[in-house]
Structure 1
Amino acid sequence: MAKYMLSDPNFSDGTRKEVIDAIIGEFRDKPGLKLIGYEPDADFDRLPAELLGTPEAIKEALLSASAKAYELIDMEKQHGRHPRIGAVDTLEIYPAKDVSIEECVQLAEEIGQELFKRHGVPIYFTGKNARRPDREGLTVIRKGNYEGLRDAVLIDPSRAPDIGPAKLHPTAGATIVGAAEQHDAYFNVVLDTTDLAIAKKLASYVRGKTGGFTNIQGTIGLPNVHRRTGKQCVIVSIEVSNPLQTPLHRIYNLLKAEAARYGVNVLAGQVCGTIAAEVLVQTAEWYLQLEGINGPWDYKSQILENHLLDLQG
């Protein structure tokens, strides 16, 4: 039975079509690999992608795409709104099917070692691969972003990479690699205002280190355009590291209540990228107060597609 892993690499160029096409081209038409999607963001100057594949296919695809990004992206010329420390900012790996977290950790370790060996780009390990507890999340590693880390790593031993000397690559910066048990949920809450200060306040209300949810480390207020109406607005952009422990509906309801304090309505919620069905069912259970359709069943047995997948193996 084939094993599958999920990965959501992030590259630091969301504007140049030729660069985007070259990087994403490394994920196309590869045996054992599916490119789920990618969404370049010009404002962030960032290119997130999502991949599903066998461990061997995931490893080779990430190594080849990273080589292309290191070749084409110069961090001295890149200026995106999103926190980042390198041309290849993050390479994170998650179990998808019939694979253990230990196997993901081992693969992440191999990728980090190989990237430094081939390209001389320093590596910071995160998640289950973190060498220190404070690097299990991305916030401490990314403190100061590329520009801040570039200077700090030369004088502060606590900012040194896990692989490589205490300096960044002159054009590629550094790369964060790690495995986690659950795929992060990327969730935006769209506010009916253009007041960025409100979005930033609300972001601080849900961020773990400023009194919010423990599983939310990455959150930021940003200007945006509402997808459906084209209306200028702001969003609270949130990265949830364990959405089953910190459900999306709980985050949404808190932000809705806090926004009302400022006389602001919530226009929409946005899920970015893929998300586990269990997370959406959890939200449906809460809003519909579900107790089971034909009794107190496990919800998994009530979803038709799960039975079809069982038949297909």
Structure 2
Amino acid sequence: MSSSRLGLRLAVCLLNISEARRKYIVENVAKAALLKKNGQKHPEVSVLNVFSDQGYNRSVITIAASVAELGNSVLAACLEAFQSIDMEVQEGIHPCLGAVDLIPIYPLSGVGVEECGAVARNLAENLVQRIPGCSVFLFGEADLPEKRTLVQRRKQLGWFTRRDFSALKPDLGVAPARRCGLTGIGASPYVMNCNVTIDSQDLALGKEIASAIRGSNVNGLKGVQTMAFPHEGKIEIACNVESFEDQEVTETSEGSQYMAYSVLGDHFYYVSPHYIEAQVKKLASDQGIGIKGRALIGFTPQECKNCAEYAIKEGIGEFWKIRRGIFM
């Protein structure tokens, strides 16, 4: 049964927190998203996935809900995270600026990206009011009127290299407290995370491959943002795969470069994870090395929508605990 027939207008947040090594904290954050202020469970909220990487010391918690409930649900998760994570002692390979590092909100069904932007702005205002020392930068549809992308904002703020919070200027809130750091909040069409591991320890080679497929490269993959990291004795090519609108894209069959989906009649495209893996494999093989596998962190847009509809219809709040057997 579709979400429209269920009467639900669905959105999702891929909440990025700077903690993975203390499992109980990550699970407490996930569980907090499911509860109302009175301790009762939200009937229209489900945590679809919890992904933690101990080397990165970063977790991504996928929270799906009716658009009316999502802001409050994510706020509750963030309150738990800020209480438990201290950026003064946080360590990890992955770049980050905040205890709650990133709060992107994406439309799934029956809601547009503009409304998700309004949810994100309201959430940002509530966070800086509720959390002493919390400060926020905005991106995408939450960043009015400029609507600067997450990539643009991260470059401006030195997200890839900076750990000194004192000189950062937030869009909302006071100067970042060292414990909290700086949190990015915004909305856009769906962005998924796809990582490919190459069978090498050569970080320079990894960066070369990442640069070759990056969307900003003239021969790169449209909408793909990349970084290379040492990871478990190998090199991981970490990709953020952005959805985009493009009238010229027509290749949407299985195994092609682009996949397609629609929200409120708007058609979006993204580069297939299989195609990303194939491109990395080709570039690596040109250097005489192979790949060790691909990991999709969470879901494609279609999978996320399907899982959200199922979980909320069936009242499964802790969907991440059973998801391996469903829609995969």
Which TM-score applies when normalising by structure 2? Answer: 0.73
Matched residue pairs, number? Answer: 268
| TM-fit CA distance, 1:135 | 4.2
Rate the CA distance shift 1:133–1:4 in 2: closer, same or farther, 3 A: closer
Compare CA radii of gyration and give the structure with the larger one.
1
1:162 is the counterpart of 2:189: no
| TM-fit CA distance, 1:260 | 1.5
Question: Structure 1 residue aligned with 2:56, among 32, 41, 44?
Answer: 44
Deviation per CA, 1:28-52, whole angstroms, max 9, x where unpaired?
4432101101022211111211011
Rate the CA distance shift 1:26–1:103 in 2: closer, same or farther, 3 A: same
**SS of 1:58's equivalent?**
helix
Question: Structure 2 residue aligned with 1:61, among 67, 73, 77?
Answer: 73
Question: Structure 2 residue aligned with 1:108, among 117, 120, 124?
Answer: 120
Q: Which runs of 5+ in 2 are unaligned?
A: 1-6, 35-40, 244-258, 260-268, 314-328
CA root-mean-square deviation: 2.6
**Preserved contact between residue 32 and residue 57 of structure 1 (Cα < 8 Å):** yes
**SS of 1:31's equivalent?**
coil
**Preserved contact between residue 139 and residue 148 of structure 2 (Cα < 8 Å):** no
| TM-fit CA distance, 1:142 | 5.0
**Preserved contact between residue 116 and residue 141 of structure 2 (Cα < 8 Å):** no
Rate the CA distance shift 1:178–1:236 in 2: closer, same or farther, 3 A: same
* Structure showing the higher strand proportion among its residues: 2
Question: Structure 2 residue aligned with 1:139, among 154, 158, 178?
Answer: 154
Rate the CA distance shift 1:260–1:145 in 2: closer, same or farther, 3 A: closer
1:124 is the counterpart of 2:137: yes
**SS of 2:53's equivalent?**
coil
Partner of residue 19, structure 1:
25
**Preserved contact between residue 146 and residue 173 of structure 1 (Cα < 8 Å):** no
Partner of residue 89, structure 1:
101
- Give me the identity figure in percent: 24
Q: Equivalent residues in 2 for 1:167-246 (5 A)?
A: 167-181=175-189, 183-209=190-216, 211=218, 212-217=220-225, 219-225=226-232, 232-242=233-243, 244-246=269-271
Which TM-score applies when normalising by structure 1? Answer: 0.77
| TM-fit CA distance, 1:220 | 1.9
Partner of residue 294, structure 2:
269
Distance 1:142 1:149 in 2: 11
**SS of 1:9's equivalent?**
strand
**SS of 2:165's equivalent?**
helix
Rate the CA distance shift 1:139–1:250 in 2: closer, same or farther, 3 A: farther
| TM-fit CA distance, 1:210 | 5.1
